[in-house]
């Protein structure tokens, strides 16, 4: 399958145009919309969030990822294989956390270019065709790289910031719950929250932090909109007390 991860939103034509390319060039391959509403241009938030979600997908899944504020510049195009899964997208840090945490990694620069390549939409013109090639067992023109030259190992193991806010107002952080003590108090936007296993463990309207279904530390208000009620936005710092 091909899994789409973008900051494009669903309102405009961009996701649809990418799917059109995939439908034409890989017509029998299912295309899954994982994220289309990642925080705009926020590469680091997307990198930590992506790493938390890939393990739910089988080996050979192709993640077509486009958070690309440098599109049309001299930034490279990346093809990465990490623990049996494939990642196609801009070489701008988006695959940094994936590569850091993986046991086995191969990293290629994509040198193949289509006949027509717009300056502003490589998701449609470059990354979607490359993803389609992979589903057919074909490799585009690539150059194998030393992964250590493509990954910034100075990134922290956990990202102590808000990385995503979902439809319900739940606030995801870049922190893995497995690295956190359930006795710790979480502070964000001036609010302090204690751990609970899930929403129903606190009264309606009460706030909590918990381990979400993909292992990240998340902030919520039971049957409320935590982001609005607590004044939290993507990028806010998170601290343990």
What is the DSSP track for 9-37?
Answer: -SSSSHHHHHHHHHHHHSTTS-EEEEES-
Q: At 133, which helix (H) or strand (E)?
A: helix 128-135
Same domain for 68 and 31? yes
Residue showing tokens 């979400």: 212
Q: Cα–Cα distances in Å, from 39 out to 6, 49, 67, 206?
A: 9, 11, 9, 26
Same domain for 144 and 55? yes
Q: At 216, which helix (H) or strand (E)?
A: strand 216-221
Of the three residues 149, 177, 210, the one that is the final residue of a domain is 149
Residue 135 in domain: yes
- The residues pairing with 16 across neighbouring beta strands, listed in sequence order, are none
Same domain for 125 and 64? yes
DSSP letter at 157 equals S
Same domain for 165 and 134? no
Strand 85-90 with 171-176, pairing: unpaired
Residue showing tokens 């027509």: 116
Same domain for 126 and 65? yes
Strands laid side by side in the 238-240 sheet: 191-193, 186-188, 238-240
Phi, psi (degrees; rounded to nearest 5) at 15: -65, -40
How many CA atoms lie less than 13 Å away from 45 in the CB half-sphere? Answer: 24
pLDDT tens across the length of the chain (241 residues):
999 999 999 889 999 999 999 999 999 999 999 999 999 999 999 999 999 999 999 999 999 999 999 999 999 999 999 999 999 999 999 999 999 999 999 999 999 999 999 999 999 999 999 999 999 999 999 999 999 999 998 999 999 999 999 999 999 999 999 999 999 999 999 999 999 999 999 999 999 999 999 999 999 999 999 999 999 999 999 999 9
Same domain for 166 and 143? no
Which CATH number do you get for residue 217?
2.40.30.90
Which CATH number do you get for residue 98?
3.40.50.10790
Q: At 110, which helix (H) or strand (E)?
A: strand 105-110
Strands laid side by side in the 207-211 sheet: 159-165, 171-176, 216-221, 207-211
Residue 22 and residue 123: Cα distance in Å, rounded?
A: 11
Residue 28 in domain: yes
Residue 154 in domain: no
How high is the pLDDT of residue 10?
85
* Other CB atoms within 10 A of residue 134 CB: 21
How high is the pLDDT of residue 50?
97
Q: Residue 170 sits in which domain range?
A: 159-240
Same domain for 109 and 192? no
Of the three residues 121, 149, 177, the one that is the final residue of a domain is 149
Residue 236 in domain: yes
Same domain for 108 and 7? yes
Residue showing tokens 């409320």: 224
Same domain for 178 and 121? no
Number of domains in the chain: 2
Same domain for 170 and 126? no
Residue 191 in domain: yes
Same domain for 163 and 144? no
Residue 18 in domain: yes
Residue 6 in domain: yes
* Residue 186, token pair as written in the block: 């979480």
Same domain for 31 and 52? yes
Residue showing tokens 């609010």: 191
Of the three residues 86, 121, 149, the one that is the final residue of a domain is 149
Query: Which residues make Cβ contacts (< 8 Å) with residue 222, sequence separation at least 6?
Result: 199, 200, 202, 203, 204, 205, 206, 207, 208
Residue 57 in domain: yes
């Amino acid at each position: 399958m091909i899994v789409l991860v973008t900051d494009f939103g669903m309102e405009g034509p961009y996701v649809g145009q990418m799917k059109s390319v995939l439908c034409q060039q890989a017509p029998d391959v299912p295309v899954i919309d994982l994220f289309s509403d990642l925080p705009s241009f926020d590469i680091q938030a997307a990198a930590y969030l992506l790493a938390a979600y890939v393990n739910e997908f089988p080996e050979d899944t192709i993640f077509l990822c486009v958070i690309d504020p440098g599109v049309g510049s001299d930034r490279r195009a990346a093809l990465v294989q990490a623990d049996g899964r494939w990642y196609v997208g801009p070489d701008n840090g988006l695959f940094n956390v994936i590569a850091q945490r993986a046991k086995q990694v191969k990293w290629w620069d994509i040198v193949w270019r289509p006949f027509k390549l717009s300056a502003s939409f490589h998701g449609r013109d470059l990354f979607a065709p490359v993803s389609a090639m992979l589903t057919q067992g074909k490799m585009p023109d690539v150059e194998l790289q030393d992964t250590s030259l493509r990954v910034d190992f100075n990134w922290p193991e956990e990202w102590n910031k808000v990385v995503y806010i979902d439809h319900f107002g739940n606030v995801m952080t870049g922190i893995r719950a497995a690295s956190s003590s359930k006795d710790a108090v979480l502070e964000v936007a001036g609010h302090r929250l204690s751990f609970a296993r899930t929403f129903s463990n606190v009264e309606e309207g009460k706030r909590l932090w918990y381990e979400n279904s993909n292992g990240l530390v998340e902030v919520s208000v039971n049957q409320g909109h935590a982001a609005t009620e607590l004044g939290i936005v993507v990028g806010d710092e998170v601290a343990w007390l």
